[in-house]
A and B are shown apart, each in its own frame.
Chain A
Amino acid sequence: MFRGGIHPAYHKELAAGAAIRELPTPARLVVPMSQHLGAPAKPVVKVGDMVKAGQLIGEQNGFISAAVHAPTGGKIAAIENTVSASGRVCAAVVIETDDSAERQTMPALTEWRSVDRKELVARIGEAGVVGMGGAGFPTRVKLSPPSDKPIDTVILNGAECEPYLTADHRMMVERAREIRDGAEIIWHILGAKSLRVAIEDNKPDAIAAMGKAFADMDGDVAVTVLKTSYPQGSEKQQIYSVTGREVPRGGLPMDVGCVVENISTAFAVYEAILLGEPLTRRVISVTGDAVERPSNLLAPYGTLYSELVAACGGVKGKAAKVISGGPMMGFTVSSLDVPTGKTASGLLLLSASQITGFTSQACISCGRCVDACPMRLAPAELSQFIEADDIEGAEGVALMDCIECGSCAFVCPARRPLVHHMRRGKAVVMARRAAARRG
């Protein structure tokens, strides 16, 4: 169990019991070319083209990049800029959907055990699979660690530690079999000795379902029940909770022989290999106290938030904040005209009573942030350095180790915008490093 962390009110009961519901295909899809870490995909279609469901519309553009596909068939209406949930402008391919049932798939690799590992990884890349836990790191890269970093443990991340969100929870309850199949493929590709399925103890039904599904796997496989604590889903903390190993500062999980994959990513791997389907949709938890009917919707990416909210009975009362993701690390959006992507698993609509504002009160050195920080930093000290514009000073006390989980700001009695300070400090450091590389 990692040191630090917080126990926010979870509000999972709003949507935890809602079985996954498929959204009827929207009339229009605004498919972002950047739904992953790295370079945006390059559009390979023109305005006016007719596309089939599953057809490639954006090709992988570089090593750290991913392919994007048409979730449904239709006509390319436009290629224009859109604003993502995080506020960044990126290109998007707008599809006017039609009812065509035709799908363009790749051959199903039912005998995947006899397929060369490199081919399996290439297929995962072709399918545009990226980390669906939020970071969107191209999965084909994660599954190709360098030979000097042997992997002995694969961890399947079923923690879903953010409050309100229940998408992964429902996936584990309803699609445990498919997740198991995808996990087996990942495990095989990495050639690791052990496979662990990490689930927080606030999801007993998911633990039972996954336990049952993974029971027939041979080898060192186990469901590891973790104490519910935010941020148990953060991979560094999860690796520590499951294996006792600490990822070194500035390092990656492979430095301690581990690879962590989200359960939805495992599902996407299953679809890519065993069904020949590219990644085109995901389950997203639409919840919060300002939504009429909190639901877990299976929707194609490119669906606008307004469609999702409408499918949940609309806004209940007045929404003060609309958040892409969870309340601890999610991005607030200024309108519902934002399209979904591969990585965001939640859409939160919160009324004014559920949100709190920040202040510029002085730090009273209570130390609660020091206790809460899962990276064992001193957020109080860091924020004071950054407020005083001493970014070097902040760097000197491990500013760049901050994972922006929000635990510090959550506990701060002075309501200081601690994560905001960290982000500003980190942005200055990154800009300076980029300038140094160029200059």
Chain B
Amino acid sequence: MKPEESKDLYIISSSPHTHSGASVERIMLDVVIALMPALAASLWFFRWDALRLIAVCVATCLLAEWGSRKAMRRANSLSDFSAAVTGLLLAFNLPPALPTWMAVAGSLFAIVVAKQVFGGLGYNPFNPALAGRAFMLISFTGAMTTWSASEWLQKVRYASAAAATKATETVVDAATFATPLGYAKEALKAGKGLPLFDFDLSLLQDFFLGNVNGCIGETSALALLIGATYLLVRKVITWHIPVAYLLTVLVYAAVLRLAAPATALPPLVHLLSGGLMLGAFFMATDMVTTPVTRRGMLVFGIGCGIITMLIRTVKSGAYPEGVSFAILIMNAFTPLINRATRNRVFGAK
């Protein structure tokens, strides 16, 4: 062998020498594309507030990632687009009237504390956007649970007035509690019934299209479903977590509704309210913080469903929104789920 006779230099490496073409950037870009319908819906329903929050969150996340990586003397990671995705998802989880500086604080927390401190993408145990939202819920509770009036409110007032003439109990004025779940929680706390949601198809339509109050990216189930379909087709996510999550919520809510219709929201309302659709398709499917096997994903989804419903409906401590905390809690269980749901090795008993 006389290597110096060879004029060309050939690359030596371990096999394989070909690749599917997949990349982290491509996955993140697909998520961004999938979020575009919800982005359009947020701009439609919440206008400048939506634009403001999305711009602030994305910009702060990008800056925070660049800055913290530089400070830690690590390679620049902006090109994997994960910071932009976190910014978008965090913005979608915020109420429209939230002050800008709070959005900045939440974004900083999400990127620096929940992600970069652990080592960056792939090392974070918790969903960064949800960790940011949890930080904000605890630090800025008032602002995070204040909603502005919307068209939905008018319908509620009209519906409750109509319902009041039918019912023997008076219905709570929805003006102060502008989201469906918030309304339900306060109504139940006050010992009142929930007649307004019975068999009201037009209201359900509002929920589905997004013409209700809520965080800017979570309200339109239709927009989210379009995005989710894109992710499924592109094989960025599989059906296991979203279906397990949503089915669990559906069954749990149906059982409650059957047991005590007066104090339980219709299952469809549970499905369409709060950040459930956004959470089930875009947050609970975050690869880094969720199990790798199909069986593990089903366990994860069911766990999220149970915890979400517990938080939403347990009598004395009910909180109008359980999705963020349910997913974060299940994130903590992911390593254990991974260990418990390994595939059977080929040829093993």
Point out residues on A near B: beta carbons under 8 Å. Answer: 2, 6, 8-9, 82-83, 163, 236, 240, 246-251, 315, 318-323, 327-338, 348, 350, 354-358, 361-368, 370, 374-378, 380-381, 397-398, 401, 404, 406, 409-415, 417, 419-420, 423
Contacts and interface: CB of A to CB of B under 8 A. Distances in A.
B159 to A, nearest CB: 45
Contact of B1 (A83, A247, A362, A364): A83
The 5 closest A-B pairs by CB, nearest first: A362-B122, A406-B16, A367-B292, A420-B14, A335-B6
B287 interface: yes
B224 to A, nearest CB: 21
Contacts of B14: 358, 417, 419-420, 423
Contacts of A412: 22
Contacts of B200: none
Given A375-B345, A419-B15, A367 B1 contact: no
B119 A375 contact: no
A323 B348 contact: no
A239 B237 CA distance: 32
B189 interface: no
Determine the main DSSP class of B at the interface with A. Answer: loop
Nearest to A325: B15
Given A320-B11, A337-B6, 13 more contacts: A250-B347, A329-B15, A334-B10, A335-B10, A337-B5, A361-B122, A365-B122, A377-B343, A378-B343, A380-B292, A398-B348, A409-B16, A420-B13
Contacts of A348: 17
Task: Give the interface SS of chain A, mostly helix, strand, loop or mixed.
Answer: loop
Contact of B347 (A248, A337, A363, A365): A248
Given A321-B17, A337-B5, A375-B345, A413 B23 contact: yes
7 contacts: A315-B8, A330-B17, A334-B10, A375-B346, A378-B338, A410-B18, A419-B14
Interface of B: 1-3, 5-6, 8, 10-24, 26-27, 80, 119-123, 287-293, 338, 342-349
A327 B16 contact: yes
A413 B18 contact: no
Given A321-B11, A355-B18, A364 B121 contact: yes
Nearest to B345: A398
Nearest to A356: B19
Contacts of A83: 1
A419 B15 CA distance: 7
A187 to B, nearest CB: 25
Contacts of A320: 10-11
Instruction: Name the residue among B3, B5, B22, B120 with the largest chain A CB count within 10 angstroms.
Output: B22
Given A236-B347, A363-B122, A364-B121, A323 B17 contact: yes
A270 to B, nearest CB: 31
A246 B18 contact: no
A370 B343 CA distance: 8
Nearest to A367: B292
Contacts of A420: 13-14
Nearest to A318: B8
